[in-house]
A and B are shown apart, each in its own frame.
Chain A
Amino acid sequence: MIKATVEPWIEEPLRTFVTDAGVSLALLLHPNGQVLAQYGFSRAIDIMSACALAAAIHVSANELGRQLEGKPFSGMHHAGKERQVFLAEAQTKRGPYIFLTVFDEASSLGLVRMYFDEFRVNLAKASPPPPDAPEPMLSENFERELNRNLAALFGRA
């Protein structure tokens, strides 16, 4: 069985979003690319790729927004022929997270945006305060943390 979240407080807001918005894939990650929760993925390698790409798109879009409008873009939407991608930032007490979701004709951009607004509020409410002495995210720890999170999501922890 695929576990949806690395940390339990994310589970309820994510489940509500997925159920209400009718999306096929969802991913919550730290801006550094570490996965925190997923829905709909069946392979760890796909999550790793999606996280790396989402983090890169997020940082590029933020910079593009700063250069064009003086502030980061708040979200991104790409409409493909059959599936669409929505990516946006969600603020929590533990800092900003990136949310990526994929949907098809069973949902719509309007529904995804509407339920994402609710998800963002629910996530912020559910988030615990940051730890007193947060562990610095060092590059040497990155792979270990990533593997630990993927193992937790795929029931190998």
Chain B
Amino acid sequence: MSDFTAVLDSLTRQRGVRGSLVVSAEDGIPVDSNLQFGQDGNRVAALAASLYRKARKSAQAAGLGGTGFMQLEAETGRLCVIGGDEIILVVVAERTANVGLIRVELLRAAESLA
């Protein structure tokens, strides 16, 4: 049990959430995760962190300032990411999941880790 277990548990308890990860922002390596069987945490962490870094840079390049919340819509689900310079939080959710609730929970989790 790590310092992040409670945060991950509260994220994964949300309806429609399939898994959640705490990821090292710079390395893209999972620090802790709560995933369902069949999900490859290393791959999700590496790619989500890369995507988030690029999204932040894109927003900065466009003069839009910092990036708070990032959401990727896929065919059968969503990837929600929030984070800072050191750590990012990733949620893998079903398409029917309530993104508003997930966003609130992610913001709360990010605040508790800050």
Contact = CB atoms under 8 A, between A and B. Distances in A.
Q: Which of A105, A108, A109, A111 has the most CB of B within 10 A?
A: A108
A110 interface: yes
Classify the secondary structure of B's interface with A: helix
Given A108-B49, A108-B50, A114 B26 contact: no
B28 interface: yes
Interface string A84-116: 000000000000000000000101111101100
Contact of B43 (A105, A108, A109, A114): A114
A108 B27 contact: yes
Q: How large is the interface on A (under 10, 10 to 19, 20 to 34, 35 or more residues)?
A: under 10
Contacts of A113: 29, 42, 46
Contacts of B28: 108-111
Nearest to A84: B27
A109 B24 CA distance: 10
A111 B27 CA distance: 8
A105 B57 CA distance: 12
A68 B34 CA distance: 31
Contacts of B50: 107-108, 110-111
Contacts of A109: 27-29
B47 interface: yes
Q: Which 9 A-B pairs have the closest CB atoms?
A: A110-B28, A110-B46, A108-B28, A109-B27, A114-B46, A110-B29, A111-B46, A108-B27, A110-B27
Given A105-B26, A111-B47, 16 more contacts: A107-B50, A108-B26, A108-B27, A108-B49, A108-B50, A108-B53, A109-B28, A110-B27, A110-B42, A110-B50, A111-B28, A111-B50, A113-B42, A114-B42, A114-B43, A114-B47
Interface of A: 105, 107-111, 113-114
